[in-house]
Amino acid sequence: MSSAKRSIASSPAAPHLALISVQLLFATWPIVGKLALRVLPALTLVGFRVAGAALVLLVLARATGRFRLIARKDWPLLIVSSVLGLILNQWLFVTGLSLTTAINSTLICTTIPISTLLIGLIFGTDRIAWRRTLGIVLAMAGVILLIGRGPQELSSATRTGDLFIVANSLCYGAYIAISKDLVRRYSALNVITWVFIVGTIATIPVGAISIARMPLREVSIGVWLAVAYVILMPTAVAYFLNAWALARVPPSTVAVYIYLQPLFAFALAPLVLGEPLGARAIVSSLMIFVGVVIVTRRRRAKMIDESQALETI
């Protein structure tokens, strides 16, 4: 890695820029994914997404010399991380999204930082503080204002899907909290590659079964391009950047950036769907950004020391 790239990677702002990029990529996946879901079954799309990303990450890890075996004693933690952060996370979200509305799923996903903090407290990987609590509450209020409805308005008609999204949020929050130690010891790219490799064991067979009776010759090039985008950008690139940042900032900091995802989604809606951007979205955007700044603000010297102590990806 050149000195210029190394300097950028070791900058205190680098993890936060990476996390912003992650949420921007994640925000595009439901939009592009819906194009594919018009033709492909949900579990098939998950199978393609996990298998394709696993191949891309494996090639990248080997090309950069980052790929190495995980010690036998760490495999239980690796398997749990893959099940929580990938297998269950993907199945629950896609299934839940098919049974509820995008509005409900976006609102419920704001519980991820709360789940991460609670699990982090249990495992001793994080600690609560009034500043973080204030930031989370402010950002959550911004998201609720942006969406224009509160938790009490969740419809009974979508209750099953809502519960799937709640379970998805709990799984992803747990994944963020428990995988940090693996990422620190084995590097972000290596760990996330193994997480996807393990994930293919479950997702590929299930995806194959769900598409067994479907004539793939009838799938258009546009759908395959949508699948390719989902594999590369909001999956391989986004998961790698998320893991890279996780090695450098607290788990709750990684989780709180989830609040930017609906912000980006609403910003893209006028471009893709022609929907207007009103005063509510502008005020909500300010609340979300202030909340993220409050939660992620740390002493500069401490961040520099931590960055220098960690391996540069």
Q: What local confidence, expressed as pLDDT, does residue 303 receive?
A: 36
- In this predicted model, what pLDDT tens digit does every residue of 107-135 receive, in sequence order? 677 667 767 776 777 777 667 677 777 87
The whole-number average pLDDT for the span 175-197 is: 87
Evaluate if residue 41 carries a pLDDT over 80: yes
Within 10 angstroms of residue 215's Cβ, the number of other Cβ atoms is 7
**Listed range (44-53, 108-117, 163-172, 180-189) with the worst mean pLDDT:** 108-117
Confidence of residue 150 (pLDDT cuts 50, 70, 90): very low
pLDDT digits (tens, 9 = 90+) for 17-30: 989 998 888 888 87
Instruction: Please give the share of the chain, as a percent, with pLDDT higher than 90.
Output: 19
- For the chain, what is the mean pLDDT? 77
Average pLDDT over residues 173-199: 87
Question: Can you tell me the mean pLDDT for 159-177?
Answer: 82
* Average pLDDT rounded to a whole number, residues 211-225: 85
Q: What confidence tier does 199 reach under pLDDT thresholds 50, 70, 90? A: very high
Distance CA 152, CA 79 (A): 36
> Which residue, 313, 294, 300, is CA-closest to 18?
313
pLDDT over 60 at 299, yes or no: no
Q: How confident is the model at residue 306 (pLDDT cuts 50, 70, 90)?
A: very low
pLDDT in tens, 59-94: 988 988 889 999 999 999 999 999 998 999 989 988
Q: Which of 50-54, 167-171, 232-236 has the highest mean pLDDT?
A: 50-54
- Please state, for a pLDDT cut of 70, what percent of the chain lies above it: 76
What CA–CA distances, in Å, run from 265 to 103, 128, 129, 277?
Answer: 11, 29, 30, 12
The pLDDT, as a whole number, for residue 71 is: 93
Domain range annotation of the chain:
13-309
